[in-house]
Homo-oligomer: A and B are copies of this chain.
Amino acid sequence: MLEKRIRNKNLLKKVVAPEVAAGAVKDGMNIGTAGGILPSGPRMFFKALAERARKGEIKEVNIWSVALLSNEIDGLLAETGVLKRRFGSIWDNTIRKGINTGKIYSNDLRVEMFSHYLRSKTIGKLDVSVIEAVGITEEGHIIPPAGLVELPNQVEAADIVIVEINNTIPVEMEGICDVYVAKNPPHQEIIPLRKLSDRIGTPYIPAGEDKITYIVESDLPEMHPPVLPISEESKVMADLLLSFLREEVKQGKMPPNLLPLACGIGNVSDAVMKLLAKSEFENLEVFSPLIGDGVFELIDAGKCNIATAPGILVSNEVWKRFCDNIEEYKKKVIVRSVDVSHDPGIIKRLGCIVLNNALEVDIYGHVNSTHIGGKLLVNGVGGGGVYAANGYLSIFLTNSTGKGGNVSSVVPMVAHVDHTEHSVDVIITEQGLADVRGLSPVERAGKIIANCAHPDYRPLLTDYLERAGKLGGHEPHILDEAFSFYTRLKKTGSMKES
């Protein structure tokens, strides 16, 4: 099987059992990886590494990955207690618990800075890069599947490169990626991406025979998140967004085919894509930090001719459709490395319409997207910031309440800021839409409370705003009360006044 996938025959002798590959890891090493097909990743290697940890052969490793990793990598290592430090966003519950109890050190690094750090060794040197691959070319270059993220940068930075070839990934996947690797300043060049359909790099991750340390084989089927039905709230938010975009087009603020959609993934994003697929909009483009089910729906409806992202994260069903029609999809889908997909200049130049999920927003428009109650990490900031800050239109979406109505997603002051008021143009909840561009903080507050907050919380928020306003200031606050919603929640189980 592997002989077909490893076109460089010298490399066949580097094929080893996962245990051997995992044996290359020494205590304290920094290991980079990513879900080749998000969130799967090279699980044979990490199972073997976890086994070594269980046996006490290895005490401590650090994982670097901007990509969401499954419980079979992050979770497994967290469970064994071998994971000391984790750079990048997370997805798995076990590692989340480890981080939120202080057992695992984490820094949810911004995606756009990660490759810079890899190149400059600012946060240390990456020792090992472990990559799930489709195969290897004649020249010894790695053929990545549909998740590329910062893998090319990892390979460049690491001394030990381990390629895990997964036989369940169709070989026809080759060619979906466009690998462009930037240099660090002062040698960084202008990234020559002009149109979304431009291919400016190579279809493989540059490596070469000598760079590859070991090759591991895998027959593990790829993992995919379950499909959740689109919620009523998501449908309402999608409707609100489309009406808003229609008005923007009407006012000449964007062209009739909109601007590249940075839609991300999730329930609301899928709802938006579904609605766009049935709408009057044509010739849409996607330039996004991730591609989910919804984008494929858009493509299948003939509404989108080009979609690019550093990774694809889709359900089993969509993955199957993708694999069955891969040659067709390759004409419309390009998987890019983060040096391109998360470049602030490109995001700004293309003028992306950016959809981001919020955990909560405050009355002045600051957004918390990462830390519950200001302290518990959910996933991490990832690429949300560079898109929100540099997009043409930065939109945050959230249900107006959570926990059966006991938590308001609009609060006087968010307990953690990921996106400041200056990166937030529009806020949408199922209650309504607040376009806050160009407004003063107090004007924003009035609009966000009136349009986005749940009616149960409007009187409380209005009362806060009015009393704070009387004390003056450009962005009035009563610091003693700014977190009163959280205090009440802790005391009574609800942010509502009893």
Residues of A within 8 A of B (CB): 85, 87, 99-102, 105-110, 112-113, 116-117, 120-124, 184-186, 188-192, 194, 251-253, 255, 259, 343-346, 348-351, 366, 371, 373-377, 381, 385-386, 389-390, 392, 415-418, 420, 422, 437-443, 468-469, 471-477, 479-480, 482-483, 486-487
- For this complex, 23 residue pairs linking A to B, each with C-beta atoms less than 8 Å apart, are A100-B473, A100-B474, A102-B442, A102-B473, A102-B476, A106-B474, A107-B438, A120-B392, A185-B392, A186-B255, A186-B351, A188-B348, A189-B194, A344-B348, A345-B345, A345-B349, A366-B417, A371-B475, A375-B473, A377-B475, A385-B389, A386-B389, A416-B475
Cβ of B415 and Cβ of A417 under 8 Å apart?
Answer: no
State which of B123, B373, B389, B479 has its C-beta within 8 Å of the C-beta of A389. Answer: B389
Known: A105-B443, A344-B345, A348-B345. A375 touches B259 (CB 8 A): no
Cβ of A351 and Cβ of B185 under 8 Å apart?
Answer: yes
The 9 closest A-B pairs by CB, nearest first: A345-B345, A185-B351, A123-B438, A375-B473, A344-B344, A377-B474, A417-B417, A105-B440, A479-B483
Known: A185-B349, A351-B184, A392-B185. A487 touches B479 (CB 8 A): yes
- At the interface, is chain A mostly helix, strand, loop or mixed? loop
Q: CB-CB < 8 A to A194: which residues of B?
A: 189-190
Known: A422-B381, A475-B377. A124 touches B482 (CB 8 A): no
Q: A102-B469, A123-B437 are in contact. List 18 more A-B contacts (CB 8 A).
A: A87-B438, A102-B472, A107-B438, A117-B437, A117-B438, A121-B251, A121-B253, A122-B437, A124-B438, A184-B392, A186-B350, A190-B190, A191-B345, A375-B476, A377-B475, A381-B420, A385-B422, A483-B483
State which of B105, B185, B351 has its C-beta within 8 Å of the C-beta of A188. Answer: B351
Cβ of A474 and Cβ of B344 under 8 Å apart?
Answer: no
Task: Considering the complex, give the chain B residue whose CB is closest to the CB of A190.
Answer: B190
Q: CB-CB < 8 A to A192: which residues of B?
A: 190
